[in-house]
Each structure stands twice: as structure tokens, then as C-alpha cells.
A = this chain, B = another copy of it.
């Protein structure tokens, strides 16, 4: 393999374990003969375009070690989507120029399906320009909606946090429901897929345990059957706990809650479906309701992350380096489930193009026919992913998270003015 430097960047919505993948990349890259130094790009692909590169060799070793325990994206993330390769090559050419200026031969991009589109394009353009570069994608998303991989780093921890949150809120509600709140609605992330909402089912241990109703985008949600189910549940158990994906839709395919604007990737911004359900239940059934919207907390709750998830995040980072040393390009690391009980997994890889801008919904076999819950097959799938704890260290009652000192490399190129 070509001797040179490596760059690592983070993209898209963060997870509580994306920095564990960074840790894995850095750990292995510094031990790899062909990799001379490891750089971090600031704010994802922006860091390359703007030549904002961090020299990771300069960081304190303890800081790099602590990445393993730190939520958020320590290098900064971005929602910048590269243009179509055919329409606008300027940004792509700039990326290759920056790599060339810093002798970057290994490019590790940690993100979701939009980011794998970037991986595929960068691997293409560098080949077209005759610049030897190995570009490898590392999967990351709380949504668990990437195809080709059994699960995504980030999901297990979001699942665990949401399951524990609904478990604890369920104990609260159960103790208060006699003459106070009877309905609790927890809104989870999940714009197009219900993987996160589904995971709250792991909170149950005996018949009648919450959540009693799980609503996901894969099943249309209709008002009357839902209200009937709420009513029945309260009659039977005295209370009703609902987990709802932000992206549930009507029979006509319309989002229940559409805030009316879109993000930089063109995704519709949603919000407030939990409050909407609460209001409907209060008005039509007369029950007192409460609701939680955990929002960013669910993708950054590192304090209660899943050990399996962290191990996989680290392993995916390390495997990306291994693939690059084997000469692969335009690939994304995948997790393969070898067996369920005992849970065993291994790593593999696929062409980034087969993941790019694709989404994997919950398969039918994971969802109950009535549209209000998940099957035993889903529980068997999800359970191993939340297994184990991996607590950060605490000082004065607060987790100690890493902060990079950020030692910038001297810039070699003139400033880049983006086309848009």
C-alpha cells in the first residue's frame, strides 16, 4: 500500500458512540505501517473543503482514549450534501486537491446513508483523477435504517436509553394512575422507520408491562382504532403508555406532524406528534395525559450506552482501517449477525453505492398485524444490541467527556469558495 496520511471525519446526526468509532480508527491507524499520521477534519466534509485539518498526533493520549466515552461528534459533524458528480465537479476536485496537498491516502467517513453517497462519489472521483485514495465508510445512525448491515452502531445505545426511559416513566405512571395521569406518550426519533420506537418493547418483562402501544411509520395510524386501543388498555391495566415515532403517517401517507420546513438534506422536519396524540386522547377520551420528547438526549445519552454497541462502534472503526490496508475503496463496513443466542457477530463490507441514500424499514415480520406492537422476532433481533453497560468515569457526579484541543495543520492551499 501507498504510504501516506489518513483523515477521519464525521457526518450527519450524531450518536452516543460515534466517537467510539473515531477511537477505533485512530487506535488502529496509528499502529498501521502505511499510515504516517492521522488527521481529523473539522465539521465533516467541510473540514476537507476548507482545509480545516486537525493533527491528532498532537492531542494528549488521554484525550484520544476518552473519545470512547464521549457523546456528540468530537470532530464536529455536518449536514452538507455534496452536489451530483455529473453536475458539479468543483467540490470533488477540491477534496482530492486537499488530500493531495496533505498526502492523505486514506479517507474514513463516519455517517449514515447520505454520507455513504459521499464515500461512493469521493472514491469515484479520486479514481477518475488518478489520485490513489482509499475511501471507506463507517456506519453510524441511531435510526438503524442502513441497508446491508445487520444493525448500525448508535442504534443499540439509543434503543437502550429509550427502553430504560419508558420503563422508568412506566413505573412512575403506574404509581400515579389511580387519581392522576393515566396516559403517557413518549415520542421517539424515527422519521421514516420505527426501529427506535420499536426498541422500547424491550422494557417489558411481564404481561401488561408498558409500553402498551408502539406506533411506527411502517404502519399507518388511524385515529379511531388507536383511541379504542387506548381505552381498552386503561380498562385492563389502569394506565396506558405509548411509544410513538416522530414520523408516523396517516392511511393516505401524510405525516401526522409536519412542521412545514425541511433540513439541508431535504428531509421534512417533524415535531410534536406526541403532543398531538396527547391532545387527541385528552379531548376525545377525557383522560389526563403526560408526554416526553427526549429529542437529542436519546442520541447522546452516553451515560447509559450499550456495551455491545460501543464494542461494535470501535470494531467498525478498526475494520475500516484494515479494509483500507487491504486496498479496498468505496466500501462501507457492515456488521453480520452470526447467531442470536448466544449473540455472535462479525464484520464485513459492501459497496457504498448499495447503501447510499437507501433506507431499511422495519420488516413486516417484526410488526404485529394490528399495527400496535412488535413481534417476538423483533425482540430477539433487538435484545442483544442493548446488552451490557460501559460507564464513563464521573467527577463530582458528572460524566467526564473528552474535548479535543484541536491543533490545526498549516493550510497549503488558497481558500475555497463553495459554489452554493
Q: Which residues from chain A sit less than 8 Å from chain B, CB to CB?
A: 10, 13-14, 16, 43, 46, 70-80, 160, 163-165, 167-169, 171-176, 178-180, 184, 202-203, 205-206, 263-264, 272, 275, 290-297, 299-304, 306, 383, 386-389, 391, 394, 396-399, 401, 403
- CB atoms of A383 and B401 under 8 A apart: no
C-alpha gap A141/B293 in the complex (Å): 22
C-alpha gap A386/B398 in the complex (Å): 8
- CB atoms of B290 and A295 under 8 A apart: yes
Known: A168-B303, A169-B297. 20 other contacts (CB 8 A): A14-B172, A14-B176, A16-B168, A43-B178, A76-B175, A78-B178, A80-B179, A160-B397, A168-B300, A169-B300, A172-B300, A173-B296, A180-B263, A202-B396, A202-B398, A206-B403, A292-B293, A383-B396, A388-B394, A389-B397
A65 to chain B, nearest CB (A): 17
- CB atoms of A397 and B386 under 8 A apart: yes
- For A202, give the chain B residue with the smallest CB separation: B398
C-alpha gap A391/B179 in the complex (Å): 31
12 A-B pairs with CB atoms under 8 Å apart are A14-B175, A72-B168, A76-B178, A77-B175, A78-B179, A167-B399, A169-B300, A171-B300, A206-B403, A291-B295, A386-B397, A389-B391
Contact of A394 (CB < 8 Å), options: B77, B171, B389: B389
Determine the chain B residues whose CB is within 8 A of the CB of A389 once the complex forms: 391, 394, 397
- CB atoms of A295 and B292 under 8 A apart: yes
- CB atoms of A172 and B70 under 8 A apart: no
- CB atoms of B303 and A304 under 8 A apart: yes
C-alpha gap A173/B194 in the complex (Å): 23
Contact of A184 (CB < 8 Å), options: B43, B206, B296, B399: B296
Determine the chain B residues whose CB is within 8 A of the CB of A303 once the complex forms: 164, 168, 304
C-alpha gap A174/B74 in the complex (Å): 9
- For A159, give the chain B residue with the smallest CB separation: B397
A23 to chain B, nearest CB (A): 15
- CB atoms of B179 and A296 under 8 A apart: no
Determine the chain B residues whose CB is within 8 A of the CB of A294 once the complex forms: 292, 294, 297
- CB atoms of A398 and B163 under 8 A apart: yes
- CB atoms of B296 and A293 under 8 A apart: no
Contact of A275 (CB < 8 Å), options: B164, B174, B272: B272
Determine the chain B residues whose CB is within 8 A of the CB of A202 once the complex forms: 396-398
A83 to chain B, nearest CB (A): 15
Contact of A176 (CB < 8 Å), options: B77, B203, B292, B403: B77
Among all A-B residue pairs, the 5 with the closest Cβ atoms? A72-B171, A73-B175, A386-B397, A292-B295, A172-B300
Contact of A304 (CB < 8 Å), options: B80, B299, B304: B304
C-alpha gap A300/B300 in the complex (Å): 19
A12 to chain B, nearest CB (A): 9
Determine the chain B residues whose CB is within 8 A of the CB of A79 once the complex forms: 176, 179-180
- CB atoms of A296 and B74 under 8 A apart: no
Q: Which of A175, A295, A398 has the most C-beta atoms of chain B within 10 angstroms of its own C-beta?
A: A175
A188 to chain B, nearest CB (A): 12
- For A73, give the chain B residue with the smallest CB separation: B175
C-alpha gap A322/B84 in the complex (Å): 75
Contact of A171 (CB < 8 Å), options: B70, B163, B263: B70
- CB atoms of B290 and A172 under 8 A apart: no
- CB atoms of B16 and A72 under 8 A apart: no
